[in-house]
Structure 1
Amino acid sequence: MRDMLDIQKLLVPDLLDSMKKRYTVLQHILVSGVVGRRTLAASIGSTERVLRGEVEFLKEQGLLQIDASGMRITEDGRLLLEQIEPLVKDLFGLTDWEERIRSRFGLKQVVIVPGDSEASPHTKKELGRAGASVMRKLVKEEEVIAVTGGSTMAEVANQLNATASMKSCWFVPARGGLGESVDLQANTIAATMAKKAGGRYRLLHVPDHLNDEAYQSLLQDDHITEVFHFIRKARMVVHGMGDAMVMARRRKVDPETTASLQREGALAEAFGYYFDRSGRILHKMPTVGLRIEDIHDMDTVIGIAGGRGKGEAILAVLRYGHEDVLVTDEAAAAEIVQLLSS
């Protein structure tokens, strides 16, 4: 297939360009559910006039349905996207990047979606869809699944749907709350995932950042302790990855600790731990939730993050060496590959 693609790129590049455009249109409609032509044109950087021709062609092929509410993908369109995904990744050059990152860090799987999730809400939705797909494939029956908070994880939750395996699973927050928008809290995301998947959930009603005195006090509460031990039964954790300084601000880390993190070269944060360029842990937050030793014992650790500014942070977490699967986007992958090359 790769040889044929190379020949087509040389002889009929216009055909491949058309294929990319039509794939992009279908993919955006898939993650949007229902979308109008004007909104779609703005999302993919096209004009309504140019888009009209592509939409009519896709409708004639039975891949799109158009009504008063907008455009939606048909089941044939959905199946086509699944079938041509490997081919499209070759067209975008993402397959080589996936294998390079996977082999470099000994991961079980790397999934890269086209685009930049920092710049495009549709790419972030596609990142969520890819993350949800990985979860569905790897989950085992009656598993406890721990999840972190954040906007990317919220998209994963929104894109999840029920499978036979997931209906018997428990979804739990990996850590306490950050005090940010309730929609982005780990508790909310765990509950949403459970509802979407037809499973069950447990919640952890404590703040994420605690001083030692408060931490020890909470551990005296029987209910908190019981939930804490239940969370530690998780065999799969699905987590985001963030820039260290951004996360320090979100977590309201005290100025002295923040200054120390900067001096020591903190680049990344994941599940409350701060990492430097080499993947060394610089600082951990005292909290009721998963500990790093719990992560080490997990059957499956899935990291999901994207955006042009996240490449260095993702790379730092990968160098820590306990990820099994990475789901990211083209923009972050490009930065990771460039950093590995240099």
Structure 2
Amino acid sequence: MKLKSNEIAGFIRRPPEHVRAVLIYGPDGGQVREVSDRIAKTVVEDLSDPFQVADLTPENLKEEPSRIADEAAAISLTGGRRLVRLRGATDVVTPAAELALGAETGDSLVILEAGALEARSKLRKLFESESRAAAIPCYLDSGAGLDAVIRETLSAFEVRATPDALAYMVEHLGGDRRITRSELEKLALYVGPGGEATLQDAQQLVGDSSALALDQIALAVANGDIAAADRLLQRGYADGLNAIAVLRAVLRHFQRLHKAASHMAAGDSADQAVQKLRPPLFFAVKPAFMAQLRAWPIQRLRLALSRLAEAETQCKSTGTPDLSVAGQTLLGLAYSASRGRTRAPAR
């Protein structure tokens, strides 16, 4: 079945008993895993119990397609429902998923975790059309949704955040739900119960891992430092950053450049334009940001924003090599920046 947005939270808390299988998919791998774990724990308390949980991989099904159906049909030796989990699912496992849904015996819950899937994906269509299955999308946290995640996580630790700190965190988090929660928990433990996180707290403690890596990539691209951008991209991919999160981080940086450039086009000086940015620009990156404003005319910033948006759309297409698309786009922008810098008149 295809769940409506207002049905998802209730489904996660208590999946209907008639549902035999759930597909959880989307570009936010951390959110996919978080939702998967929450649903799994409605069936099995200890997710590491080998008698109650069967963890499979696409490689298992490649060698033995009926394995998932056999696991779904198996009866628990210790009582209760069993759980069957498959991570890294793609359209290739669709026939095996059909076998699992067709199992006549057993009452196991099958959970498939997948990356971004287009509407025409065979696997997604199967789970959206089957009455005993459900599909749950997990999109990257942003805007009001990310704001809610931040407030909810901090509230659990009895911690508040100032408006500036909240705005900073909305800008620097959201690429991966697990990383977002980890960064917020670190901040909450530092502030302590009943405390209030300030902008300075957030700047010092939030985003020193993946978010900092994303910031460094964005700065290298906008600076026109092709070698650094390539090195940081490869390191980020190796550390688990996904292509869409990287593109969105660079997009946010270019949006801030465009906003400042728009203020300048309206008559503000560069300093005045930067002072109007919210959340405020971190002092350590201000020199580089000011140089980027000189290197990127507003017309080229508009083109860069279009290229980044188009690259994200391509990355969401089934079968597209998303890391390659993101890399080509970002290194292309870095090259454009380096050319623009060499053509810029002396000041």
TM-score over 0.5 for the pair: no
Q: TM-score, normalised by structure 2?
A: 0.26
Question: Where is the helix percentage greater, Structure 1 or Structure 2?
Answer: 2
TM-score by length of 1: 0.27
Between Structure 1 and Structure 2, whose CA radius of gyration is higher? 2
Q: Name the one with the larger strand percent.
A: 1
